Structure 1
Amino acid sequence: MKLSIAAGAALLALTTVALAEGDVAKGEKVFKKCAACHDVGAGAKNKVGPEMNGIVGRAVASVEGFKYSPAMTEFGAGKVWDEATLSGYLADPKNFVPKNKMAFVGLKKEDELKDVIAYLAQYNADGSMK
C-alpha cells in the first residue's frame, strides 16, 4: 500500500514537472481555440467564459462577476486550478466536470495541453506578465 502511494505521488510530481515545460509561443497559438470564449492579458474581461488571468493557482470558480454553472461551483469547492487539474479539465471538460456549461470538446494532444498551460501560467491575476 505504501509503495503504491509513493509511486502515485512520484507520478504526479513527474506529470506536474512535464506540464510546466510547455512552450509559451506554441501555447499562444493553441489559446486561439479558447479566445472566442475566454480572454487573457491586460484588460481581459469575462466573455462566455471567465477571463483567464492568474488561472494557474487560482481557486476554481472564483472569478468575480462570472456566473458559473452549479456543476462547476460544486466541483470547485476548495479546489485550485493547478497544472494537473487544468490538464484534466482541458483534455475533456464535459467528463471532467459533468454538467458544466463549457461546450469545448477539449484538447486531445498532450503537447497542446502543456503549451496552453505554460502560456496561461505567465499571466498574473491583474493581467501583467510574470
Structure 2
Amino acid sequence: MPANILMVILIALPQGGVSASFVNVDALEECESRLGRIRPVLEQESDTLLHAGCHLSTAQFSLFDHDPPVDAPRFPYEITIKGASAEVRRLAGGDDCDSSGANRGEMAFALCVTSTQELISTEQ
C-alpha cells in the first residue's frame, strides 16, 4: 500500500530558488512525530525555512538522502499546497511554473522548487 502522507520541507536557497525535501510516510501521526523531532534543527535556520508540514498526497518520491553528492542532479517541480493536501508535478524543460499563488496565505500556495529527489509516481 503506497504512503498517502507526504512530509514537505521547503528551504530558501542562498543563491535564490527553493529547495524541497520529501518523505513519504504511512500515517499522519508518524509524520507529525518525525517532523516534531527535526523541526528544532530546521528552525535554527529560520530565515531559510519556508514551510515544513505533513500533507495528504499521492506523490511518491525516491528516498531522502541527508548527504547527496555536490553534483547530484536537481529536478524541477511545481508544488501546490492547499490546507492538508499537497500536489506535486514534475516540470519538463520549458514548462512554466505558476507561482502566482505563492503568497495566497499560509495554507494555500503554489511554488516552483527543485529537489535532488526523483518523483516516482503520483498514482495510488
- Taking structure 1 as the reference length, the TM-score comes to 0.22
Larger radius of gyration: 1
Normalized per residue, the structure richer in helix is 1
Q: Which has the higher contact order (CA 8 A, sep 6+)?
A: 1
- Taking structure 2 as the reference length, the TM-score comes to 0.22
